[in-house]
Structure 1
Amino acid sequence: MYSLNFASDNAGPMHPKVLEAVIAANDGYQMPYGNDTIMEDVRAKIRTTFEAPDAAVFLVATGTAANALALATYTDPWDAIFAHRISHVEEDECGAPEFYAHGAKIVLVEGQGAKMDPDDLRAKINKAEDKDVHSIQRGPVTVTQATEVGTLYSLHEIKQITSIAHEFGVKTHLDGARFANACAALGCSAAEMTWKAGIDVVSFGGTKNGCAGVEAVIFFDPTEARQFELRRKRGAHLFSKHRFLSAQMQAYVTNDLWLELGAKANANCARLVAGIDGIEGATIPDRPQANMVFANLPRAAHRRAMGAGAKYYLFPFDASLEGPDDEPIRCRMVCDWNKTAEEIDQLISLLRG
């Protein structure tokens, strides 16, 4: 039986190796709150993966916590957080970054393909005064990689963004909920996409890529990490039975499983995109580079697919399946590592009719 759920990579199962690691971690006793022996191995493996032997490594269970707490570490309540207009922290965090930074303001930056335009970023940072008490002050810059429309910042583009930020003396954060997909697509190392490109802290996502619920927050300058520890506890995101977070991340980073799964998800999406390209009346405004595609498809195509049980999001969410057959309706489809060629082809067949 086909699973036609293309709504999100959050909808997919845990990878068997991750599940096995969690089951193994359930044996006996381990110290709580991140003092488990598994976490020692996680730190070592992540430091090796990111070529950062001194990095401070922490785990939380959700991407929202990872992003919000990481940004809050670098943000005073009177600061600005610079983000793209349709970045994840702006669109999908329900105000969590502002909440955890005690009222900081997200300043929106423009740019094509959901990527910040360097000139607009410079102008927005420059406008935020760092002296006048009447003005919002300069705070960190956050980059969503992969973006909310499935595009990617190149390494050069990340360096442009971080160079501007550091020129003004502000920190940089990379929202890597789909870090593995981006890294696999760019063919680069974890280090090249983060600290070598000027990133100060990264949210290294596992939940969307084969884990049950774990994200790593990595500070490349460990002297800046103490406040994160306190914020994590105060914000109710320090797990007591932390070993079950550690076990997931240990399996995820062992033998580059994270990268393997990201590449599989990307390949699945490429197959889906090729199929959509062959559907009459279909258009894809932003060519996807990772595992997520936004496409405009005729209403009749959506009606056939959803009528047969396919799940994915329409935009707007309340778009009706009733109306002219040929009217285009925007949708989002996401592939994870677990999708099969048969499932993808079945969806395309339904859409094509």
Structure 2
Amino acid sequence: MNFASDNTSPVPPQVLDALREANHGYAMPYGNDAIAAEVRDQIRTLFEAPEAEVFLVATGSAANALALACICPPWATVFCHRNAHIEEDECGAPEFYTGGAKMTLVEGPDVKMTPGNLDAEIAFAARGGVHNVQRGAVSITNVTEGGTVYSVDEVRALCAVARAYDLPVHMDGARFSNALVTTGATPADMTWRAGVDVLSFGGTKNGLMGVEAVVLFNPEKAWEFQLRRKRGGHLFSKHRYLSAQMQAYLTDDLWMKLATRANASAARLSAGLLRVEGAELIYPTDANMVFAKWPRAKHRAAMDGGAAYYMWPMDQSLDGPAEELISARLVCSWSTTDEDVDQFLALLGVDP
């Protein structure tokens, strides 16, 4: 009953098998291994983007920060939602890797920017010429930090605003696979066809041991990305172990199968929580994360029964009135089972 994060899940056996296979013999380092070339071809085919450049890094923060550094200069700003991952959860990594670019925070319901709010923030920026930070880039998180999902039309509308100001667009796709399962969109339709220039294509939150792909739909930035990756300490010497994970992830649609399981578990969990007296959802359950509130007494019962999840916000206490509604975030992974969900709901007094 671990709903703390999809980062807590084990690694699928297909990935471990691929690592064992890659461990035989010798391979060239620094991304020059044969598997890396195959991964590039897999991703180019998957995204219907034969000219795209693909680079692997070990963490989502590195993927986001290095990607943004290639499209936003230090004297500019990145426009993102107030609760975007790059704003809330990366300890200033984008600011660090860009050399000082700031974040301009855009409001919007359900943790999603609206085109109108984005347009207003971009229009207001750089109004003082040389005295202000300049307009730099737009970053869209899909799946959002609230577990909601931008549709292709919503992504296209935000990209249209960015294009009106000649700004590049980054997508933080740490849970990109979960967004595709929800929308039924193709990878191409959700990204470059909608106007996205660079994607952080997540793997770790969907079962991998530790690898993310940066997909540059504008190949002109490829050399700069390579230099930034090396200078930033994110070019792996024994790169084949990154490549092998991503290759297994993409083979036989494993990445989509894993995300489908996680989303289905979250839907089951969300529906069950709504059967708890007084419970309510904070955001729609679009993908594999559930944000909800229910009585404090039942949180105590769940925690005492061995359930792991985070209060949201985290500073809420289990001490206080038993019937007061307090909120939490629960995340399902590829390895979450129906039994996990039903056991958790049973602790809250919900029959399967």
Q: Do the structures match in fold with TM over 0.5? A: yes
List aligned pairs for 1:1-353, cutoff 5 A: 4-129=1-126, 132-352=129-349
1:316: how far off? 2.9
Structure 1, 283-292 or 315-324: larger mean CA deviation: 315-324
The separation in 2 between residues aligned to 1:234 and 1:91, in whole angstroms, is 25
Label 1:240 to 1:130 Cα distance change in 2 as closer, same or farther (>3 A): farther
1:128: how far off? 1.7
Q: Report % sequence identity.
A: 57
> Which amino acid in structure 2 is aligned with residue 179 of structure 1?
F
Q: Deviations over 1:206-243 (max 9, x none)?
A: 00101000000000121122111111000000001000
- Give the superposed CA RMSD: 1.0
1:297: how far off? 1.2
1:126: how far off? 1.2
Q: Deviations over 1:316-352 (max 9, x none)?
A: 3232212211111110000011111011000011022
> Which amino acid in structure 2 is aligned with residue 76 of structure 1?
P
- After TM superposition, what 4+ stretches of structure 1 lie above 4 angstroms from structure 2? none
Q: Deviations over 1:270-312 (max 9, x none)?
A: 0101110111011102111000010001101110010111100
Partner of 2:144, secondary structure, is coil
Unaligned runs of 5+ in 1: none
The separation in 1 between residues aligned to 2:121 and 2:185, in whole angstroms, is 30
The separation in 2 between residues aligned to 1:236 and 1:23, in whole angstroms, is 25
1:267: how far off? 0.4
Unaligned runs of 5+ in 2: none
1:130: how far off? 7.7
Structure 1, 5-14 or 224-233: larger mean CA deviation: 224-233
The separation in 2 between residues aligned to 1:145 and 1:128, in whole angstroms, is 24
The answer on whether the counterparts of 1:60 and 1:237 sit within 8 Å (CA) in structure 2 is yes
Partner of 1:226, secondary structure, is helix
The separation in 2 between residues aligned to 1:227 and 1:329, in whole angstroms, is 46
> Which amino acid in structure 1 is aligned with residue 291 of structure 2?
F
The separation in 1 between residues aligned to 2:130 and 2:73, in whole angstroms, is 14
Aligned length: 350
1:131: how far off? 7.8
The answer on whether the counterparts of 1:130 and 1:138 sit within 8 Å (CA) in structure 2 is no
Q: TM-score, normalising length from structure 1?
A: 0.98
